[in-house]
Amino acid sequence: MLRSLFHRVDLRRFSRNARLYFAFSILYSSGMALFSLLYNLYLLRLGYREDFIGLLAGMMPLASGLCAIPIGMGSDRWGRKPFMMAASLLLALSQVGLCLITRSTPLLVLGLLSGISPAMVYVNHVPYLSENSRPEDRGTVISLAFSTYIVTSMAMSLVGGNLPRWVGDWMGGGLDRPEPFRYALLFGTALTACSILPALKMGEARPSRGPLPKGAGSAPPDLVPWSILLIFAATSALRGLGMGLSFPFFNVFFEESLHASTREIGLIFFCSRLVSMPSAVVSPGLSRRFGAVPALFSLRLVSGVSLAVLGVTGGLLPAFGVFLVYSIAESVATPQEMTFATNQVSRAYWGRGQSLRVTGFQLSAAAGSVMAGRMIVSAGYGFTFGLAALAVFGSAILLLTKFGWHYQE
C-alpha cells in the first residue's frame, strides 16, 4: 500500500507545467495561509470586532464571485498562465495595503481588490492541471494539488502560530499589540510575491486533438451542458454559504470562546492540516471504490454534523477533536468534487464550468461571512455554525437528487 501511495505522489510522473504549478501553489498558498491564520487576530488588536471582521471577510469572496465568470471566459481564450502571474502580483500588493492601513473604509476596498486574485487561481487551477495531465492521472494530480495546499497550510500554521511571539520578543512588545502580527503578515506578503517566479516559467498546454477521455462528456461544441454546469454551481453556492458562515471565524472562535492562545491556535490548525494531508491523497481511491455520489454525500454529511457540534462545544480539547473530524471530511470531499465536476463536461467547458462553480461558491461565501459577523455578535457561534451545517447538508442533498446514489460516470 505504501509503495502504491509513493508512486502516486512521485512528481516525476507529471508534466513540467504541473510541477511548476505545485511550486507556484506552495508560495502563493503560504502567504494566504498566514493571512488566514493571523489577520483576524490582528484586526482584534486594532480594536475591531466580529461584525467588521465578517464584513471584511466577505469582501474577498464577493470580488472573487463577481470576477470569476469573466476570468473563466478570458482564460479559455487567452490561456491560464497570464492569470496566474497577475494573481501573484495583485494579491501581494493588496496584502501590503492590508498590513499598513488601519482605517475601516480603505481596508474594505483592499479586501475587494484582494479577492480578484484568488478568483484567477480558483478558476484556472483545475483546468490547468487537467490540461497538463494524462486522463488516468487527472484525479491524482488534482488531489495532489489539494494536498500541496494542505501541507503548505500545515507548515504555515505551525510557523505562523509562533511568528508573532518571535517578532514580539525581537521588538520587545507584547502579543496584545498589533505590531508583532503586522510584521508576521508582511513576511507572508513576501512569500506571496515570490510565487510570480514559477508562474513566469509555466507554459500553456497544447490543445488536444485526440478523442475525449471516457467520462469527459460528449456534448457537441455548440451545445453547452447548462444543466450540469448549473447544478454544480448550485452545490458550490450552498457549500460556499456554509464556508462563509464558519471558516473565517474559526480562529476567532478558538480565541474568543475557548480562550486559546495564538500558539495553540497555530497548533490546532497545524494538526488539522496534518490529518488532512493523507486523506486528500487517498481521495481518488475512495471515489473509485464506493462511487463519487455516495462518497461525496457521506463526507458532506460528516462535515455538516461536525460544524453543528463544533458551535456548541464548550471545551478546547473536545472542540479540537471535532475540528479534526471536520478537516478530514473536507479534505477528502473537495478534490473528489473537483474531479467529478470536471469529468462531467468536455474540455471546451472546463474554464466556464469552473468559473460558474467559483462564482456560486464565492458570492455565497461573501454573503455568509457578512451575515455571520452580525449573527455571532447577537446569537452566538452555536446558531451560526448550525446554519452553516444546514447549508452543507443542502449541497449534499442537491447532488444526490441530481445524480442518484448509483450514478456511474
Q: What is the pLDDT, as a whole number, of residue 103?
A: 92
Cell numbers at residue 309, please?
Answer: 457540534
Cell numbers of 230, please? 448549473
Q: How many angstroms separate the Cα of 248 from the Cα of each of 36, 168, 219, 371, 387? A: 8, 25, 39, 12, 15
Longest dimension (CA), the chain: 66
Q: Residue 154 has what pLDDT?
A: 77
CA distance 112 to 134: 36
CA 174, CA 34: separation in Å to the nearest integer?
19
- 364, three cell numbers: 455565497
Number of alpha carbons in the 13 Å side-chain half-sphere of residue 201 = 13
In the prediction, which pLDDT does 217 show?
42
CA 77 vs. chain centroid, Å, equals: 25
For the chain, 409 residues long, the average pLDDT of each consecutive 10-residue run is 45 78 91 89 88 87 86 82 92 94 92 91 83 74 77 82 85 81 92 93 63 42 70 90 90 89 87 74 68 86 93 91 91 80 73 80 88 88 94 91 74
Q: Which three cell numbers stand for residue 247?
A: 471558516
One-character DSSP codes across 333-370: HHHHHHHHHHHTS-GGGHHHHHHHHHHHHHHHHHHHHH
The answer to whether the CB of 110 falls within 8 A of the CB of 97 is: yes
Query: What contacts 257, CB < 8 A, 6 or more positions away?
Result: 381
Instruction: Give me the pLDDT at residue 278, please.
Output: 66
Amino acid identity at 164: P
The pLDDT value given to residue 237: 93
C-alpha cell at 234: 448550485
Tell me the H-state helices in 224-380: 226-244, 250-256, 262-281, 283-290, 292-311, 316-343, 350-379
pTM flag (> 0.75): no
Separation of alpha carbons 22 and 147, rounded Å: 10
CA distance 81 to 92: 17
CA distance 296 to 294: 6
Count the Cβ atoms, other than its own, within 10 Å of residue 227. 8
**H or E, element range at 393:** helix 381-403
Domains annotated on the chain, with CATH: 14-199+224-403 (1.20.1250.20)
Crossing angle of helices 104-131/138-171, nearest 10°?
150
Q: What is the pLDDT of residue 24?
A: 93
How confident is the model at residue 266, as a pLDDT?
84
Instruction: Give dist(CA 302, CA 38) in Å, integer.
Output: 27
Give how far Cα 311 sits from Cα of 3, 156, 246, 344, Å: 40, 25, 9, 35
Q: Which residue type, as a one-letter code, is found at position 305?
A: V
As a whole number of angstroms, the distance between CA 126 and CA 149 comes to: 13
372 vs 170: CA distance, rounded Å: 36
Of 28, 25, 27, 35, which is closest to residue 185 (Cα–Cα)?
35
pLDDT of residue 405: 79
Q: What's the Cα-to-Cα distance from 245 to each of 213, 338, 348, 397, rounded to whole Å?
A: 38, 22, 34, 19
What confidence score (pLDDT) does residue 282 get? 66
